Amino acid sequence: MSYRAPVSELRFVLDHVVGFDRVTATDTFAEATPETVDAILTEAGRMCADVLAPLNRQGDLHPARLENGVVRTSPGFADGFRAIAEGGWLGMSADPEHGGMGLPIALTMAVNEMMGSACLSLQLNPLMTQGQIEALEAHASDEIRDLYIPKLISGEWCGTMNLTEPQAGSDVGALRTKAVPNGDGTYAVTGQKIYISWGDNDFSENVCHLVLARLPDAVEGTKGISLFMVPKRIPDADGTLGVANSLKVVSLEHKLGLHGSPTAVMQYDGATGWLVGAPHKGMAAMFTMMNNARLGVGVQGLSIAEAAMQHAVGYALERRQGKTASGDGTILDHADVRRMILGMKAETFAARAIAMDCAVSLDMAKATGDAGWRARGAFLTPIAKTYGTETGMKVAAEGIQVHGGMGVIEETGAAQYVRDVRVTAIYEGTNGIQAMDLVGRKLMDGGAAAFALLDEVEAFEDDDLRAAASHLRVLTDWMVAQDMQDRFAGAVSYLAAFARVLGVWHHLKAAAADEARAPLARFAAGRLLPEALAEIAKARTGAGELYAVPTEVVAA
């Protein structure tokens, strides 16, 4: 089944569920008129369905490969990337000063969702570039911004971020890559990085690596990390490319999924780099890019959920097997298949609404400078990332079940969604780390951001929703009073409960705006609210029971 871009669904969520009109009412985003939004979503949807979607299977069957030090991308990916770049989609939210459109991040995420559904392996490339643009806008010198951002926006150059090292994993503070001053304002960067998404390609003139490294006088841990721009080819001041830098792709990872996306082991051997931001403040600069990417990865999970759902529905509308509720209908008339499809639709909608709500909060924070909007966006980011990717994995797996035995036959395409989406729960901070961030850093305000969000939920007139939100409020109070070990033990459940309560809230708002959506909203509430209550109970068990089981039993 071919992919259909859900343009009308995206527009409905923006207009009737997450209050996008508040964003466009600001001076910052006044140019995002309804006509502009319609034109952008329609044109992007057409590109995704017609140009990118046909590449998805090509990337899976013909992975990116490394030949004599040169990365060869999957068939058609160069043309697909060119369509993305020429459409202006790389710089949607970038500053117009450097050639961007200056549009809301919510609109960028809507377009990214469609690109991810069409071909996630390729969409990962622009996601990295978009994040790098944002990091450079916030932290780089004028010289670096003026040189790099226009090239990144045009697609002439691509961006990456280099954090992980073999010995460090998620513990970024344990990195060993060094940066030594050259005496001319540049630095010699030496070290190895792993898991570098789109570490190289054969369709852009240059690949620009943001690399975390330590200066000679740096302290241990994350406080001693600096950020450097290290390009594949060293440009002149006017952007003319000169000699190759002292870096190379050592190998490409052989992955479970996303075969069309080259994930590189990168080696830097005294490569020339330029400091981005202040010395020893690299993590703050990199987190600008990572937070953009965390929401973006949540949207990637949502992308796969949408694509897998469409694939499953298409199959269920064609496959005839057994006696159905209507006598001789397709398997969509079987109660259990209908249960699966409705569950897929309910959670995909909830994940989309949470992600768009997060994006609207970030847009409002940028447009108004209001600390409340900033805190709201920060609180929603780990929820959007985790619930989006968990939903992607769940819906993709359910899609295989709808297909039955045909689901595990590669030719049907259902299995690819499962393989492609799995890593989204791991990269840009594992979902466990997201949950720990939620109950740790995001509750350092004593729960103020959480309570403010729950105030909004409880203002909606629905007794079941209010009851669940009230239980979540009590749990938040409990979390704030606990030490970190007990918080961490219940972190995943706390996040899961919050996501489900928010998801039902958004469903009910949708039903209030369109009565035809009421049956799905009732279905969602009947499934997600009981799950939320169960997660709330689990979140309060603390760490004691985890460590009461002897290590020898755990490891047996």
Whole-angstrom distance, CA of residue 95 vs CA of residue 466? 41
Euclidean distance between CA atoms 125 and 90, whole angstroms: 10
- Count CA atoms within 13 Å of residue 380 on its CB side: 31
Show the tokens assigned to 272: 């020339």
> What single-letter DSSP state applies at residue 206?
E
> Mean pLDDT throughout 267-286?
93
pLDDT (tens digit per residue) in 173-220: 788 999 999 999 999 999 999 999 999 999 999 999 999 999 999 998
Average pLDDT for 39-62:
98
In the structure encoding, which two tokens stand for residue 217, read together?
Answer: 């006088």
Collapsed DSSP state (helix, strand, coil) of residue 312: helix
Nearest to 378 by CA among 363, 361, 364: 361
Question: What amino acid is encoded at 266 in this protein?
Answer: M
Residue 93: count of CB within 10 angstroms of its CB = 25
DSSP letter assigned to residue 425: G
Residues 384-417: pLDDT tens digits? 999 999 999 999 999 999 999 999 999 999 999 9
Please determine, for residue 170, whether its predicted confidence score (pLDDT) is greater than 90. Answer: no
- 358 contacts 383 by C-beta, under 8 angstroms: yes
- Give first-to-last CA distance, the chain, whole Å: 46
Q: For position 285, what pLDDT does the model report?
A: 81
What's the pLDDT tens digit per position in 300-351?
999 999 999 999 999 999 999 888 777 778 999 999 999 999 999 999 999 9
At 525-551, the pLDDT tens digits run 999 999 999 999 999 999 999 999 999
Q: What is the spatial distance between Cα 32 and Cα 39, in angstroms, rounded to a whole number?
A: 10
Q: Strand pairing partners for 208?
A: 159, 231
What does the block give as tokens for 199? 């570490």
Q: What rounded mean pLDDT belongs to the chain? A: 96
Give which of 178, 135, 157 is closest to 235, Cα–Cα.
157
- Give CA–CA dist 539/498, Å, rounded: 11
113 is catalytic: no
- The amino acid occupying position 32 is A
Give the count of beta carbons closer than 10 Å to the beta carbon of residue 342. Answer: 15
Q: Report d(CA 2, CA 365) in Å as an integer.
A: 38
Kindly tell me if the per-residue pLDDT of 1 is higher than 70: no
Q: Which of 134, 306, 347, 428 is catalytic?
A: 428
Ordered DSSP codes for 130-182: HHHHHHHHHHS-HHHHHHHHHHHHHTSEEEEEE---TTTTT-GGG---EEEE-
Give the number of other Cβ atoms within 10 Å of residue 67's Cβ: 8
Q: How far is CA 299 from CA 104, 292, 303, 366, in A?
A: 15, 11, 6, 20
Residue 226's SS3 state is strand
Q: Count Cβ atoms below 10 Å from residue 474 Cβ, excluding itself.
A: 11
Task: Judge whether residue 257 has pLDDT over 80.
Answer: yes
Phi and psi dihedrals of 551, rounded to 5?
A: -55, -35
Cα–Cα dist 473/460, whole Å: 15
* pLDDT computed for residue 38 by the predictor: 97
pLDDT score of 293 more than 90: no
Would you say residue 289 has pLDDT above 90? no
Question: Can you name the residues that pair with 72 across neighbouring β-strands?
Answer: 65
In this structure, is the dihedral angle defined by the CA atoms of residues 11, 355, 258 and 409, taken in order, positive or negative? negative
pLDDT band at 171 (very low <50, low <70, confident <90, very high): confident
Q: Is the model's pLDDT at 245 over the cut of 90?
A: yes
Give me the numbers of helices (H) and strands (E) for the chain, helices first please. 19, 11
DSSP conformation class of 277: S
- Predicted pLDDT of residue 222: 83
User: pLDDT (tens digit, 9 = 90+) per residue, 490-518?
Assistant: 999 999 999 999 999 999 999 999 999 99
User: Does pLDDT of 127 surpass 70?
Assistant: yes
- The reported pLDDT for the residue numbered 354 is 98
